[in-house]
Amino acid sequence: MAASTPEKRYAAQVVRALQRAYPAAACALHHDGPLQLLIATILSAQCTDQRVNMVTATLFRRYPTAADLAAVPLEKLEQEIKSTGFFRNKARNIQACCRQLVDLHGGQVPADMDLLVALPGVGRKTANVVLGTAFGKPTGVVVDTHVTRIARRLGLTREKTAEKIEADLMALLPRRAWIDFSHRVIHHGRQVCKARKPLCAGCILDDICPRVGVVI
């Protein structure tokens, strides 16, 4: 969408409020480098970050490189990540992804959107996480369940799909805010603007939030 000046001003208010509330917000997935973040993000689908961090603490110690993950027997990898859910599909994607990293990229994660989304199991959201957090490249806005919920409640979008929500947010927010905005919204969603019972009283956005769809 083409955002109007008042809409951009409102979005800027939201950005400033979140920055004041969560100045040090960062990615909740524990990682050391782009490869670990890529694998952790794949594992995070339909799984809590806390559970992923528990699993990857051992996984990355045993299999520190893309070549290691590509070579481990599939059944063994499935057992390593079983508690993250959908483990068979995730294991297949991780192995296929790591094999391509080894074969096509020297075992390194490419810092390029087109090359990342060409990897098995990697969509735009995962690519945005890796490019933004690991490489500092604001290629888009990460849209997870928290960002979806809160962006709609704040009236920043009326869309329902991640792709369209991201397009709206990219039109509203300055590029320099894209990476940190998602981290801060995710923290806000976990601590305050919860799915079932948002804690609107005392919320740092209470005075400007239209509370779209919120029933208290």
- Give the list of residues 6+ apart from residue 42 with CB closer than 8 angstroms, or none: 90, 93, 94, 97, 121, 122, 126
Neighbours of 161 (CB within 10 A): 10
* Catalytic residue status for 114: no
On the CB side of 102, CA atoms within 13 Å amount to: 13
Q: What is the DSSP letter of 50?
A: H
* Catalytic residue status for 125: yes
Which residue in the list 144, 180, 197, 206 is annotated as catalytic?
A: 144
Which residue in the list 90, 125, 168, 180 is annotated as catalytic?
A: 125
Q: At what angle do helices 162-172 and 145-153 cross, to 10 degrees?
A: 60
Provide the 3-class DSSP secondary structure of residue 17. helix
Whether residue 172 contacts residue 178, with contact meaning beta carbons closer than 8 Å, is answered with no
Active site residues: 125, 144
